[in-house]
Amino acid sequence: MPTFPPFPRFNLDDPCAQDPDNLIKNGTMGPAHHDTPFGTVVDNWEPFVISANAPQFRWVDNEAIDPGGSQQIFSGDTFDAGVMQTVKKLQPNMVYMIRLGYSLAAKSFGGPNVRVQTIGRKIGVDVNGGTDAKSPNVIWGPDLFDGKAALNRPEMQMVFVAKANQATIFLRAMVKDGGEGENRVWFDAICMEARPDISPSDVQQPAPIEQTLEQAAQARADAAKPWMPVNNTAALWLAAKAMGLQDQQTDELSFTYKGENYLCQVFNFGIVYCKVGDFGNVKVIRK
Ligand SMILES: [Ca+2]
């Protein structure tokens, strides 16, 4: 059975992030970017924060390997955070390969970048397209704490077998040393392509952990696009009102769990859900 690494060559042409067949959107990491509560993040990517303290995010054009600048994450303190993108229109059971081409890590003591061994990077994938970086379903590659290594590292490559029509790619930075200096990480040149030449049976991949009913209801609520017309005579609505959850933010949303049909609905202070037909047994996930 082949093992990875070594990884096969990419079929995309370098700079691969600019190849029109790159499945990652805005793999050049800019220049288009948007505001988030943590700073600016390049378009088609969103920030995630795992540590209690959040670093700052910033699109920059000071360090990059391909055009359009790069995504920087920085803080004077320790942090564990990154950016993610959900890639859609995937083919279940197809093998895909991803590569973070450039991941520079350095400290600054008020001047040039100083390479250190206390800033790590790793890439991950949720093969179900989930967007929770803390989920045990995220498959993480190895840590790379070598401050001198930035370009086309095997640790920053991964093959995975798609299990749904979408998957979420995570680029994560971990800072161990909160002492002097500013900790900085740059991400650039992210590429992804289908690899029909690799058999899914040749990829060792942990099986996704089964969702609980509550997690399935939460995921469906997260995927909803409030605000929609609301059925305000229904059991879920009446139960939520009785629980004091205040105003609804979605209509009833249907989802399936273990082959059974369920409904959920998002309110200001929680998500209510029940099995279709079992309207006397409404449960709540309080926010
Ligand atoms: Ca770039």
Distance 166 CA to ligand 1 centre (A): 24
The string of pLDDT tens digits covering residues 69-88 is 999 999 999 999 999 999 99
Q: Do β-strands 157-161 and 167-175 pair in parallel, antiparallel, or remain unpaired? A: unpaired
Q: Which of 268, 282, 201 is nearest to 235 (CA)?
A: 282
Distance 28 CA to ligand 1 centre (A): 4
Q: Do β-strands 270-275 and 260-267 pair in parallel, antiparallel, or remain unpaired? A: antiparallel
Distance 241 CA to ligand 1 centre (A): 50
Q: Where are the beta strands (DSSP E) in the chain?
A: 33-36, 39-42, 46-49, 56-60, 70-75, 79-87, 95-108, 113-114, 119-126, 139-140, 157-161, 167-175, 182-194, 253-257, 260-267, 270-275, 283-286
Distance 66 CA to ligand 1 centre (A): 4
The string of pLDDT tens digits covering residues 242-287 is 899 998 888 888 888 888 889 999 999 999 999 988 888 999 999 8
pLDDT at 3: 79
pLDDT at 233: 65
Burial class of residue 1, CB neighbours in 10 A (0-12, 13-18, 19+): exposed
Distance 261 CA to ligand 1 centre (A): 45
**Rounded to the nearest 5°, which phi and psi values hold at 210?**
-65, 135
Domain segments of the chain as ranges? 16-202, 213-286
pLDDT at 248: 87
Distance 71 CA to ligand 1 centre (A): 8
Q: Which of 70, 82, 67, 83 is nearest to 19 (CA)?
A: 67
Tokens of 182: 């500013």
pLDDT at 107: 96
Task: For residue 112, say if its preceding peptide bond is cis, omega within 30 degrees of 0.
Answer: no
Do 41 and 29 form a contact (C-beta atoms < 8 A)? no
pLDDT at 99: 97
Q: Return all residues near 264 (Cβ < 8 A) that are at least 6 apart.
A: 217, 220, 221, 236, 252, 253, 255, 271, 272, 273
- Amino acid identity of residue 223, one-letter, is A
Burial 107-135 (b: 16+ CB within 10 A, else e): beeeeebeebebbbbbbbbbbbbbbbbeb
Distance 99 CA to ligand 1 centre (A): 14
DSSP codes joined into one string, 124-163: EEETT----TT-TTPEE---B--TT--BS-GGGEEEEE--
Q: Return all residues near 259 (Cβ < 8 A) that are at least 6 apart.
A: none
Q: The CATH number of 16-202 is which of 3.30.70.3420, 2.40.110.10, 1.10.10.10, 2.60.120.260? A: 2.60.120.260
Q: pLDDT under 50 in the chain at which residues?
A: 227-228
Distance 84 CA to ligand 1 centre (A): 16
Tokens of 211: 């969702």
Distance 18 CA to ligand 1 centre (A): 9
Q: Kind and range of the H or E element at 238?
A: helix 235-242
Q: Which of 125, 134, 84, 79 is nearest to 105 (CA)?
A: 79
